[in-house]
């Protein structure tokens, strides 16, 4: 079976600035891969290329073995590859349920709305308890859950998550990782960029270390600790 996602010799950047230099990485169906690196190493850039939000300047992105001719996030979404929205992308003045209903109605139509809401509340019981609350008054962690629920209910085959735990209290980080664990168990592959290295390695099968736009180490998550100690932490810039 072809990998669900493959980056082959990808270079990418912003105008004349190169952020990735010939990066190759695969994610197999159902596999969880952690992408680790210091500030500015290119992790977000890689996550954006992998989900069709940014076009590589050279190299190829393949989904299920097929080259994606253009970077268009909607094309990736159609194949089941989705990028978890960063931060708190919710409509602050609408209720939790109205936020969910807006996305679900677009994705599933009126007929599918009730079922999608039920699935979202099963995945995030906390959102069910707060369904009438105005989204802008939710805690940071709850807002993160709300924006995740909006994409997860579509059962992606690969979720690309960029620093989901950023700025959250430790207890909420645990909840976010518990949710990622459940998503994984349900068969969704994960590519996660995380500053919570310990949590990420516990969750993932494999890790890749990105340094200055190059993947300098890849291997099983359980061997990553030693590799990280000799790399990131000597730069003094690791998260
Ligand atoms: P962090 O952990 O700090 O978020 P990162 O590993 O995610 O870092 P990227 O955000 O991918 O790193 O950035 C890689 C490099 O590209 C950095 O040097 C950054 O300054 C640069 N960069 C990112 N976005 C832009 C942009 N829109 N325009 C110009 N340069 C950018």
17-31 mean pLDDT: 96
What pLDDT is attached to residue 232? 56
Task: Print the domain residue range for 70.
Answer: 5-230
Residue 144 has pLDDT above 90, yes or no: no
User: How many domains are there within the chain?
Assistant: 1
Is any atom of ligand 1 closer than 6 Å to the C-beta of 233?
no
The proportion of the chain whose per-residue pLDDT surpasses 70, expressed as a percent, equals: 94
Instruction: Give the pLDDT confidence of 78-95 residue by residue, as tens digits.
Output: 899 998 866 667 889 999
Residue 160 has pLDDT above 70, yes or no: yes
Would residue 13 count as lying in a domain?
A: yes
Instruction: Check if the beta carbon of residue 78 is closer than 8 Å to that of residue 131.
Output: no
Average pLDDT for the chain: 89
For residues 3 and 28, give the distance between their C-alpha atoms in angstroms, rounded to a whole number: 4
Would residue 42 count as lying in a domain?
A: yes
23-35 mean pLDDT: 97
Is any atom of ligand 1 closer than 6 Å to the C-beta of 237?
no
- For residue 147, what is the domain's CATH number? 3.40.50.300
Instruction: Give the pLDDT confidence of 61-74 residue by residue, as tens digits.
Output: 999 999 997 768 88
What pLDDT is attached to residue 88? 60
Would residue 235 count as lying in a domain?
A: no
For residues 28 and 19, give the distance between their C-alpha atoms in angstroms, rounded to a whole number: 25
Burial letters 24-46, b for 16+ CB under 10 A, else e: ebbbbebbbbbbbbbeebbbbbb
Angle separating helix axes 96-123 and 140-152, nearest 10 degrees: 70
Would residue 238 count as lying in a domain?
A: no
Residue 201 has pLDDT above 90, yes or no: yes
Instruction: Check if the beta carbon of residue 192 is closer than 8 Å to that of residue 200.
Output: yes
| 200 vs 140 pLDDT, higher one | 200
What is the atom index within ligand 1 of the atom nearest the CA of 45? 11
Would residue 15 count as lying in a domain?
A: yes
For residues 218 and 207, give the distance between their C-alpha atoms in angstroms, rounded to a whole number: 6
9-37 mean pLDDT: 96
Tokens in use for 220?
């099983």
Is any atom of ligand 1 closer than 6 Å to the C-beta of 99?
no
pTM of the full structure: 0.87
pLDDT band at 114 (very low <50, low <70, confident <90, very high): very high
What pLDDT is attached to residue 233? 53
């Amino acid at each position: 079976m072809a990998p669900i996602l493959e980056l082959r010799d990808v270079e990418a950047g912003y105008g004349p600035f190169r952020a990735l230099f010939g990066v190759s990485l695969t994610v197999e169906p159902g596999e969880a891969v952690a992408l680790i690196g210091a500030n500015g190493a290119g992790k977000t850039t890689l996550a954006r290329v992998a989900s069709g939000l940014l076009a590589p300047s050279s190299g190829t992105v393949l989904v299920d073995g097929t080259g994606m001719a253009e970077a268009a996030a909607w094309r990736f979404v159609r194949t089941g590859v989705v990028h978890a929205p960063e931060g708190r992308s919710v409509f602050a003045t609408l209720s939790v349920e109205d936020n969910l209903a807006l996305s679900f109605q677009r994705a599933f139509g009126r007929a599918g709305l009730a079922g999608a809401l039920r699935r979202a509340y099963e995945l995030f019981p906390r959102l069910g308890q707060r369904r009438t609350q105005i989204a802008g008054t939710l805690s940071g962690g709850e807002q993160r859950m709300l924006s995740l629920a909006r994409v997860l209910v579509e059962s992606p085959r690969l979720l690309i998550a960029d620093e989901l735990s950023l700025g959250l209290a430790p207890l909420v980080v645990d909840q976010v990782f518990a949710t990622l664990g459940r998503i994984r168990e349900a068969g969704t592959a994960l590519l996660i960029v995380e500053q919570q290295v310990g949590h990420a390695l516990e969750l993932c099968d494999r890790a890749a270390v990105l340094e200055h736009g190059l993947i300098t180490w890849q291997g099983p998550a359980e061997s990553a600790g030693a590799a990280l100690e000799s790399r990131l932490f000597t730069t003094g810039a690791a998260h």
